[in-house]
Amino acid sequence: MARPAARSRNAVIERALSAYALFSISEVRFIKALDAECLGRALSKGERLPADDELCGLFLHQAGHSGPARHFLRTAAAAGSRLAQRLLGDLYSLGLGRPSSKGLAIRVWSLAASQGCSASAYNLAAFLLTGTGCVRDEARAARTFRTLADSVDCRDSIYAFAYCARHGLGMEPNQHVALAMYRRGAELGCTDCQYMAGFFYQTGVITPPSLSLAIAWYSLAARGGDRQALAELYGLWAQVIARQASRGETERLLRTGA
Q: What is the CATH number of the domain that holds 206?
A: 1.25.40.10
Which of 47, 81, 116 is where one domain is finished?
116
| 108 and 157 housed in the same domain | no
pLDDT at 88 over 70: yes
Q: Residue 44 sits in which domain range? A: 1-116
Residue 128 within any structural domain of the chain:
no
| 148 and 213 housed in the same domain | yes
Answer with the residue of higher pLDDT: 163 or 236: 163
Q: What is the pTM of this model?
A: 0.71
Residue 3 within any structural domain of the chain:
yes
Number of independent structural domains in the chain: 2
What are the C-alpha distances in Å from 57 to residues 13, 52, 54?
Answer: 12, 9, 5
| 28 and 92 housed in the same domain | yes
pLDDT at 172 over 90: yes
Res 59: pLDDT: 62
CB 72 within 8 A of CB 57: yes
pLDDT at 187 over 50: yes
| 6 and 96 housed in the same domain | yes
Answer with the residue of higher pLDDT: 100 or 147: 147
Res 75: pLDDT: 81
CB 55 within 8 A of CB 82: no
Which contacts qualify for 135-144: CB closer than 8 Å, 24 or more apart?
137/170, 138/164, 138/169, 138/170, 139/170, 139/171, 140/170, 141/169, 141/170, 142/169, 142/170, 142/171, 143/170
Residues 64-87 have a mean pLDDT of 79
| 101 and 195 housed in the same domain | no
Residue 123 within any structural domain of the chain:
no
| 1 and 104 housed in the same domain | yes
Q: Is residue 177 helix, strand or coil?
A: helix
Residue 131 within any structural domain of the chain:
no
Least confident of 7-21, 142-156, 192-206: 7-21
CA-wise closest residue to 107 among 131, 133, 146, 129: 133
Res 48: pLDDT: 45
Answer with the residue of higher pLDDT: 48 or 225: 225
| 229 and 151 housed in the same domain | yes
Residue 221 within any structural domain of the chain:
yes
| 164 and 104 housed in the same domain | no
Residue 125 within any structural domain of the chain:
no
Which of 116, 145, 180 is where one domain is finished?
116
Which of 116, 151, 172 is where one domain is finished?
116
Residue 72 within any structural domain of the chain:
yes
Least confident of 66-70, 150-154, 217-221: 66-70
CA-wise closest residue to 28 among 53, 54, 4, 9: 4
Residue 68 within any structural domain of the chain:
yes
